[in-house]
Structure 1
Amino acid sequence: MSDEEPVELGRAAAAHGEVVLRRRGAVTELIVDGVFAMDDVDTSTERALATETLARCAGTGLRVLVGGLGLGWTAATTLADPRVAQVDVAELQPALVGWARDGLLPALPADPRLRLHTADVAAHLADHPGAYDAVLLDVDNGPGFLVHQRNAGLYGTPGLTGALAALRPGGVLAVWASDPVPELADRLRGLPDATDVEHLVLPVQRDGRAFDYAIALARRTGDAQPSTGGS
Structure 2
Amino acid sequence: MSQNYEELDFKKTPIGDLMLRRRRMFQLGDTDIYEVKLGEHYLMTSLFHESESQLARIGLDKTDHEELDIIVGGLGLGYTAAAALEDRHVKSLVIIEYLDAVIEWHQKHLVPLGKTLTEDSRCQIIQADFFAVSRDDTKSFNPEFPDKKYDVILLDIDHTPTHVLNQTNKHFYTEQGLSEFSRHLKKGAVFGLWADGAPEKAFCDHLAKVFSHSESHHIQFENPITGGSSEGTVYTAIRK
Shorter-chain TM-score range: 0.7 to 0.9
Q: Is contact 2:106–2:113 with CA below 8 Å preserved after alignment?
A: no
> Which residue of 1 is the match for residue 121 of structure 2?
112
Matched, 1:65 2:64: no
> Which residue of 2 is the match for residue 150 of structure 1?
168
> Which residue of 2 is the match for residue 185 of structure 1?
204
Q: Is contact 2:216–2:235 with CA below 8 Å preserved after alignment?
A: yes
Q: Secondary structure at the match of 2:13?
A: coil
The superposition leaves residues 10-44 of structure 1 with CA deviations (integer Å, 9 ceiling, x where unpaired) of 11112222211111121110111332111021111
Equivalent AA in structure 1 for residue 199 of structure 2: V
For residues 6 and 202 of structure 1, what CA distance do their matches in structure 2 show? 31
> Which residue of 1 is the match for residue 100 of structure 2?
94
> Which residue of 1 is the match for residue 16 of structure 2?
17
> Which residue of 1 is the match for residue 88 of structure 2?
82
Identity %: 28
- Note the C-alpha offset of 1:142: 1.4
For residues 65 and 113 of structure 1, what CA distance do their matches in structure 2 show? 12
Name the stretch that deviates more: 95-104 or 180-189. Answer: 180-189
- Note the C-alpha offset of 1:130: 5.7
> Which residue of 1 is the match for residue 47 of structure 2?
41
Q: Is contact 2:65–2:151 with CA below 8 Å preserved after alignment?
A: no
2:232 equivalent among 210, 213, 227: 213
Q: Identify the structure with bigger relative contact order (alpha carbons < 8 Å, sequence gap 6+).
A: 1
2:154 equivalent among 136, 139, 142: 136
For residues 119 and 130 of structure 1, what CA distance do their matches in structure 2 show? 16
Q: Is contact 1:18–1:32 with CA below 8 Å preserved after alignment?
A: yes
Q: Is contact 1:66–1:136 with CA below 8 Å preserved after alignment?
A: yes
1:31 equivalent among 27, 34, 37: 37
Distance 1:162 1:5, change over 3 A: farther
Matched, 1:168 2:186: yes
Q: Is contact 1:130–1:165 with CA below 8 Å preserved after alignment?
A: no
For residues 33 and 159 of structure 1, what CA distance do their matches in structure 2 show? 27
Q: TM-score, normalised by structure 2?
A: 0.84
Q: Is contact 1:16–1:93 with CA below 8 Å preserved after alignment?
A: no
For residues 107 and 144 of structure 1, what CA distance do their matches in structure 2 show? 29
The superposition leaves residues 23-66 of structure 1 with CA deviations (integer Å, 9 ceiling, x where unpaired) of 11211101113321110211111101001011111233211111
For residues 100 and 162 of structure 1, what CA distance do their matches in structure 2 show? 31
For residues 122 and 133 of structure 2, what CA distance do their matches in structure 1 show? 18
What RMSD over aligned residues (CA atoms) do the two structures have, in Å?
Answer: 1.6
For residues 130 and 106 of structure 1, what CA distance do their matches in structure 2 show? 31
* Runs of at least 5 residues in structure 2 that lack an aligned partner in the other structure: 25-31, 141-146
Equivalent AA in structure 1 for residue 22 of structure 2: R
Equivalent AA in structure 2 for residue 173 of structure 1: F
Equivalent AA in structure 2 for residue 121 of structure 1: F
Equivalent AA in structure 2 for residue 6 of structure 1: Y
Q: Is contact 1:38–1:70 with CA below 8 Å preserved after alignment?
A: yes
Q: TM-score, normalised by structure 1?
A: 0.88
For residues 99 and 33 of structure 2, what CA distance do their matches in structure 1 show? 21
